[in-house]
């Protein structure tokens, strides 16, 4: 699937809050912040990059809670970036791939990559290497991905092509360690087992990994 075209087209629909896929709704962004906050103290983060930022809702939320910090985001879809109502954030929202970001080395305290990897078609090793490059020594990253244990199950709400890629938590942890990270926590997130029966996989069968750059 051409994910860039998919998200460009999605941003141009009438459903600008993207309730059809859920992750860009205000409720989903609050959940995203809550999950990341379990491991990251954002009060101590001055420079943050959000990969797959869409319209910048997540970094706007962070900025409101922690004014005076520098929060930036990248996304492969220009239409997604334009879809947000956060005009003041636009200079900090950049059209770029996680494989090749426009930032200097060792410039961020934290990189978040939440709900993005399932739509990523490139080399995961190269992507993790780029995250490692732009993080400061000791910098933090949190990734949330679809659990490979459930690959092959169809999301009844969104169809068989809703997600491209699943990951085994232990294998992704090994890849992170190989690229120079220290994995501090890996945790499955199954919010509601009944959702599995209903086929609502996106919100129920994920895991997060929290690590620091060595």
Average pLDDT of the chain to the nearest whole number? 77
Residues ≥6 apart with Cβ < 8 Å to 208: 35, 39, 114, 142, 143, 144, 145, 185, 186, 187, 189
Asked if residue 183 has pLDDT above 90, the reply is yes
CA angle 21, 191, 120 (to 5 degrees): 45
- The pLDDT of 182-204, averaged and rounded, is 62
Strand segments, DSSP code E, in the chain are 47-51, 70-75, 93-95, 108-114, 135-146, 181-189, 206-213
The predicted pLDDT at position 140 comes to 96
Q: Which long-range contacts (CB under 8 A, 24 or more apart) does 129-133 make?
A: 129/179, 130/98, 130/99, 130/100, 130/101, 131/51, 131/98, 131/179, 132/179, 132/180, 132/181, 132/213, 133/105, 133/106
pTM of the model: 0.80
- The pLDDT of 52-70, averaged and rounded, is 84
* Per-range mean pLDDT, top range of 50-54, 90-94, 173-177: 173-177
- The pLDDT of 192-196, averaged and rounded, is 46
Region of 188 please: left (phi>0), alpha (psi -120 to 50) or beta: beta
Asked if residue 159 has pLDDT above 80, the reply is no
Asked if residue 98 has pLDDT above 50, the reply is yes
- The pLDDT of 130-158, averaged and rounded, is 80
CA distances in angstroms from 21 to 44, 85, 201, 202, listed in the order given = 32, 18, 11, 9
Structure tokens at 47: 């420079």
């Amino acid at each position: 699937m051409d994910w860039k075209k998919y998200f460009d087209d999605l941003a141009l629909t009438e459903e600008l809050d993207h309730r059809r896929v859920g992750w860009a709704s205000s409720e989903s962004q609050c959940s995203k912040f809550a999950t990341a906050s379990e491991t990251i103290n954002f009060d101590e983060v001055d420079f943050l990059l959000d990969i797959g930022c869409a319209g910048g809702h997540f970094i706007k939320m962070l900025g409101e809670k922690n004014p005076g910090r520098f929060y930036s985001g990248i996304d492969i879809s220009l239409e997604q970036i334009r879809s947000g109502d956060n005009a003041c954030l636009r200079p900090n929202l950049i059209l770029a791939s996680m494989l090749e970001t426009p930032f200097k080395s060792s410039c961020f305290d934290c990189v978040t990559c939440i709900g993005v990897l399932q739509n990523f078609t490139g080399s995961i090793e190269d992507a993790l290497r780029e995250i490692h490059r732009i993080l400061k020594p000791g910098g933090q990253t949190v990734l949330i991905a679809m659990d490979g244990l459930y690959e092959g199950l169809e999301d009844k709400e969104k169809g068989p092509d809703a997600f491209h890629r699943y990951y085994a938590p232990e294998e992704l942890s090994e890849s992170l360690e190989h690229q120079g990270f220290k994995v501090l926590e890996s945790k499955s997130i199954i919010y509601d087992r009944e959702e599995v029966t209903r086929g609502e996989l996106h919100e129920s069968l994920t895991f997060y990994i929290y690590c620091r750059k060595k």
